[in-house]
Amino acid sequence: ICACNCLSDIYAMGGVPRTALSVLAFPSETCDKEIMYLMLKGAMDVLKQASCTLIGGHSIKDEEIKLGFAITGTIDAGKVITLETAKIGDMLVLTKSLGVGVLNFANQIGRAHKKGLEDAEHSMMTLNKDAAIAMIKVGVSACTDITGFGLFGHLGRMMRHSGTAARIYADTLPVFEGVIEFLREGVIPGAIERNAEFIADDLIIADGVGEEYKNLGFCAETSGGLLMAVPKERHGILIAELKSRGITPSIIGEVIEGEDMSIKLEVSK
Contacts of 239 (CB under 8 A, 6+ apart): 93, 249, 251
pLDDT at 200 over 80: no
Average pLDDT over residues 204-213: 94
- Quick one: pLDDT at residue 96? 98
- Quick one: pLDDT at residue 260? 67
Cα dihedral 243/231/164/97 (nearest 10): 0
pLDDT at 126 over 70: yes
- Quick one: pLDDT at residue 258? 84
Q: Please provide the average confidence, as pLDDT, over all residues in the chain.
A: 95
Helices H / strands E in the chain, number of each:
10, 10
Distance in angstroms (rounded) separating the CA atoms of residues 192 and 155: 15
Helix ranges (H only) for the chain are: 2-12, 33-49, 100-108, 114-124, 129-138, 150-162, 179-184, 190-199, 211-218, 232-244
Average pLDDT over residues 213-219: 97
Q: Across the beta sheet with 16-26, what order do the strands follow?
A: 53-61, 16-26, 66-74
Structural contact between residues 107 and 229, judged by C-beta atoms closer than 8 angstroms? no
**Worst-scoring range by mean pLDDT, 6-15, 87-96, 191-200?**
191-200
pLDDT at 228 over 80: yes
Q: What is the CA radius of gyration of the chain?
A: 19
- Quick one: pLDDT at residue 23? 96
SS3 state of residue 187 = coil
Please write the tens of the pLDDT for every residue from 39-71.
999 999 999 999 999 999 999 999 999 999 999
- The DSSP secondary-structure symbol of 222 reads S
pLDDT at 78 over 90: no
Average pLDDT over residues 126-143: 97
Please write the tens of the pLDDT for every residue from 231-269.
999 999 999 999 999 999 999 999 999 866 789 999 986
Q: Write the CA distances from 136 to 194, 253, 264, integer angstroms.
A: 33, 21, 28
**Worst-scoring range by mean pLDDT, 106-115, 129-138, 216-225, 256-265?**
256-265
Average pLDDT over residues 174-183: 98
pLDDT at 199 over 90: no
Contacts of 32 (CB under 8 A, 6+ apart): none
Average pLDDT over residues 127-144: 97
Cα dihedral 269/165/175/169 (nearest 10): -10
Average pLDDT over residues 167-178: 97
- The DSSP secondary-structure symbol of 221 reads P
Structural contact between residues 183 and 106, judged by C-beta atoms closer than 8 angstroms? no
Report the percent of the chain where pLDDT is more than 70.
Answer: 99
Distance in angstroms (rounded) separating the CA atoms of residues 199 and 262: 9
- Quick one: pLDDT at residue 198? 84
